Chain A
Amino acid sequence: MTDRMIKVNYLARVEGEGALKVRVRGGIVEAAELNIFEPPRFFEALLRGRAYTEAPDITARICGICPVAYQMSAVHAMEDALGVTVPEPIRVLRRLLYCGEWIESHALHVFLLHAPDFLGYENAVAMAKDHGEAVQRGLALKKAGNALVAAVGGREVHPVNVRVGGFYRAPRRRDLVALRDGLERARDVALWAVGWTGGFNFPDCERDYEFVALRHERDYPFSEGRIVSSRGLDIPVRDYPEHFEETHLPRTTALRSRIRERGAYLTGPMARYSLNHDRLSPVAREAAAGAGLGTTCANPYRSIVVRAVEALQACDEALRIIDGYEEPEAPAAELVVRADTGHGATEAPRGLLYHRYRLAPDGSIEAADIVPPTAQNQASIEEDLTRFIPDWLDMDDAALQWRCEQTVRNYDPCISCATHFLRLEMDRRP
């Protein structure tokens, strides 16, 4: 059997609806396509004419899994347009909020969506029958992340407390201190999870990716820094459109992100880790080394370990922020409306999320452009499949299909996010 077709009509354990189509002819992968059939919602169109103040609430609705990322990219882009830098206490509070989202999103992916692939279960509920303690710990970690998002943001999904310039209301110190015990337990779980996931069996699949992530002068990156890559890119966020583009491939109708000079790249936990290993806290760095990670990671199956390391980093940083927290004098910076264009890029749990807005003199949005991480990673996902599948052709169809799905899930793809950059494979053959 040399001709094989793997079709997964509904990709499970990803956020949103996508399908996978792989065509193999005589041991060669002719096509590996991740199709996204999530219906488009036209966010960039409906944002036009809205007030700049509405962008954080509206763009949060692009993704219920990582709404904080959308809010953070939106507020940074708007503040760039208005020429505002927020005071240090607000900057720190934003990091705290982002820690919460990383913890809940990484816990969701590591324990409920991805670990079942490594341990051979259809889902986390089935996995819990044999690995109950692990699933319970994962849920506790996720809960601690959600509690943090709720305490700073007002609620877990689509937080209400984020505004351009800062927050509507700064959290009280006592409300944050109350989270300490839960976060300390969460840090222990994350530390354990690094070792637990590090012990999984990983296919030997390293690739020479171009990693792209933010890099900050001091911190592991959330919302600030320059956009850098493992092949020498080093640019301020506002230069993003000059170096990245969405292109049409002749074979498909797909729009894909690529670096203009070179092509596909990878964003997300592996890229952040590999470009910012020296910015990790000591506990996260030690745990990573103990789990067999080097200073970079180029095996996409090991991304589950990197997510656990980042969850640990986020728990550790959240505790440090809470210990040093003093309520700011004002919850938000003063803003003066003006006409300009602003750019923002922050690190969503699954990768770089870029926003650009052009504002009219009255603060209305004239144009919006949003590039979500899954759109940026799609070319890498398909290249992984094309590269790895030839080694797996001795598997039966069911096993090969599962392995392909797992390969897509390495990226924690958020298809709801990617959808306003529709990647549509129109096979119009009669």
Chain B
Amino acid sequence: MRKPRLAVWKFASCDGCQLSLLDLEDELLAVADALDIAYFVEASRATAPGPYDLSLVEGSITTPHDAERIRAVRRKSRHLVTIGACATAGGIQALRNFADVREFAAAVYARPEYIDSLATSTPIAAHVPVDYELHGCPINKRQLLEVVSAFLAGRRPAVSSESVCMECKRRGNVCVMVAGGAACLGPVTHAGCGALCPACDRGCYGCYGPKETPNAPSLSHWLRGLGMDGRDLRRVYRTFNAGAEAFRQESDRHDG
């Protein structure tokens, strides 16, 4: 039987999510055995043309060229799965969406006229249909393995959409917000990391993005009770998933 063909694509990103594939030290060779890794330039100089059975897409769309390129990737991909906060929400670089990108370019580059960049950083789903979105900045490599396995088996990935709070309780952490007074986005943040930050005695900073149906205004009320002002609230929602709708809306409710 022909092996399913895998492609890994990169748009505006840090490489960390596709690195998760190489970080599967115990499973990497087995994955490479089960799949034909047809296109993965971070790992191989050999590339094979499409179509591909599964495309993993990292990164956000920030240039006119990339807006074209993602359409070409979609055309040659049977399944397209986006991995990470950049691909699912625009990433940290989506902070430009709240500013003037020309001013941003002028602040960083001596010759901003050579920078061919869109005014916004947008997720892949804003450009093409996406079959599945895996959240996280970075993604959890165990969840990545589950997603790849699920697509190979023709089933939906078993990835929970509950909040970080649920993982945190199961882990047995003492609540850093109730008991420690730390600002924590756990109640509104998508699970998947395993409640890492509370386990390190710090509040969740929302790197997995909003969970389904979050009640962010209520959380903001409690955060104000901890002494946070409008600028603090705007900052906490505007990090790695600032472009995700629930966080964007909530950040807009508070004064910078």
Contact = CB atoms under 8 A, between A and B. Distances in A.
Interface of A: 10-17, 38-46, 48-51, 54, 57-58, 61-65, 67, 108, 112-113, 122-126, 128, 135-136, 139-140, 142-143, 146, 154-158, 160-161, 163, 167-169, 246, 248, 253, 255, 331, 402, 405, 414, 416, 420, 422, 424, 426
Contacts of A14: 42
A57 B93 contact: no
B7 to A, nearest CB: 13
A98 B66 CA distance: 34
B187 to A, nearest CB: 18
B103 interface: yes
A135 B12 contact: no
Given A15-B42, A46-B104, A157-B19, A125 B235 contact: no
A10 B240 contact: no
Nearest to A247: B110
Contact of A42 (B25, B107, B193): B107
B32 A125 contact: yes
Nearest to A12: B45
Contacts of B111: 248, 253
B15 A65 contact: yes
Contacts of A65: 15-16, 19
Contact of A142 (B15, B25, B91): B25
Given A112-B43, A157-B20, A169 B137 contact: no
24 contacts: A12-B44, A12-B46, A16-B15, A40-B105, A42-B104, A44-B107, A45-B96, A46-B92, A46-B93, A48-B107, A49-B256, A61-B16, A61-B91, A63-B16, A64-B14, A64-B19, A65-B16, A113-B43, A128-B29, A158-B16, A160-B200, A169-B199, A169-B201, A424-B114
A45 B104 contact: yes
Contacts of B103: 45
Given A61-B137, A157-B19, A146 B25 contact: yes
A128 B29 CA distance: 8
Contacts of B110: 246, 248, 255
A409 to B, nearest CB: 10
* B26, B42, B200: most-surrounded residue (chain A CB, <10 A): B200
B196 to A, nearest CB: 5
Given A48-B107, A248-B111, A125 B200 contact: no
A49 B256 CA distance: 10
Contacts of B66: 39
Interface of B: 10-17, 19-20, 22-23, 25-26, 28-29, 32, 37, 41-47, 62-63, 66, 91-93, 95-96, 99, 101, 103-105, 107-111, 114-115, 117, 121, 137-138, 193, 196-197, 199-202, 205, 207, 235, 239-240, 256
B108 A42 contact: yes
B137 A405 contact: no
Contacts of B101: 42
Given A108-B22, A424-B114, A155 B193 contact: yes
* B92, B202, B240: most-surrounded residue (chain A CB, <10 A): B92
A414 B45 CA distance: 16
A169 B176 CA distance: 12
* A65, A123, A161, A246: most-surrounded residue (chain B CB, <10 A): A123
Given A13-B44, A46-B96, A123-B37, 17 more contacts: A10-B41, A12-B46, A41-B62, A58-B92, A58-B239, A61-B16, A62-B14, A67-B16, A112-B22, A122-B45, A126-B46, A157-B19, A158-B138, A405-B45, A416-B13, A420-B108, A426-B114
What secondary structure prevails in chain B residues at the interface with A?
Answer: loop
B17 to A, nearest CB: 7
A422 B86 CA distance: 20
Nearest to A162: B200
Nearest to B201: A169
Nearest to B111: A253
Contacts of B41: 10-13, 17
Contacts of B62: 39-41
Contact of B16 (A122, A157, A424): A157
A42 B240 CA distance: 14
A54 B235 contact: yes
A57 B23 contact: no
A259 to B, nearest CB: 19
B27 to A, nearest CB: 10
A246 B111 CA distance: 12
A45 B115 CA distance: 14
Contacts of A142: 23, 25
Contacts of B12: 38-39, 41
Contact of A154 (B95, B117, B196): B196
Nearest to B40: A123
Nearest to A171: B200
Contacts of B17: 64, 157
A426 B109 CA distance: 15
B114 A253 contact: yes
A139 B21 CA distance: 12
Contacts of A122: 44-46
Contacts of B28: 125, 139
A422 B91 CA distance: 19
Contacts of B104: 42, 45-46
Contacts of A113: 43
B92 A123 contact: no
A274 to B, nearest CB: 28
A188 B14 CA distance: 31
A143 B20 CA distance: 12
Contacts of A331: 201
A430 to B, nearest CB: 18
A128 B107 CA distance: 46
Contacts of B11: 39
A62 B91 CA distance: 11
A318 to B, nearest CB: 17
A38 B193 CA distance: 28
A63 B14 contact: yes
A143 B25 contact: yes
B142 to A, nearest CB: 12
Contacts of A63: 14-16
